[in-house]
């Protein structure tokens, strides 16, 4: 699926669509700094019924949110240097006990997702718009 974001309120439609298409409990978010990964996550969690304040887990590595469907864990793996650091935070435990795990900067962990089913969203900032692909 392809989307174009021209206005902040366009994120709402994307969040609604993504929720209706979720089949797996892992969502990889790819995009450069400032692309809108955390903004999308804010809209997604609001649509899942969370009243928690949503912010980037850049320094905490993982944030936990309560939703009407269950726990959502939001990861930012940007600062992790290797797969051992991913295992040190207990990634597998989170994957096993969540409604959804949203993983920003998943590249350090992607190889180990082999065999698992997940969704992937790419957000590209073109300067005027955001181009979104979701699968």
For 103-134, write each residue's pLDDT tens digit.
999 988 888 888 899 999 999 998 888 999 99
Question: Taking all residues of the chain, what is their mean pLDDT, rounded to a whole number?
Answer: 91
Show the tokens assigned to 57.
């887990």
Integer Cα distance of 78 and 61 in angstroms: 8
pLDDT of residue 103: 95
pLDDT of residue 13: 92
Residues 22-77 pLDDT 10s: 999 999 999 988 888 999 999 999 999 999 989 888 888 999 999 999 999 999 99
């Amino acid at each position: 699926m392809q989307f174009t974001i021209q206005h902040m309120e366009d994120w709402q439609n994307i969040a609604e669509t993504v929720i209706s298409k979720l089949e797996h409990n892992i969502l990889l978010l790819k995009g450069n700094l400032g692309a809108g990964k955390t903004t999308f996550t804010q809209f997604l969690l609001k649509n899942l019924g969370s009243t928690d304040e949503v912010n980037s887990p850049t320094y905490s590595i993982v944030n936990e949110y309560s939703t009407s469907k269950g726990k959502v864990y939001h990861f930012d793996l940007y600062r992790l240097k290797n797969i051992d650091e991913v295992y040190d935070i207990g990634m597998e435990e989170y994957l096993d006990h969540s409604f959804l795990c949203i993983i920003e900067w998943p590249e350090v962990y992607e190889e180990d997702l082999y065999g698992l089913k997940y969704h992937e969203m790419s957000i590209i900032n073109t300067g005027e718009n955001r181009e979104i692909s979701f699968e």
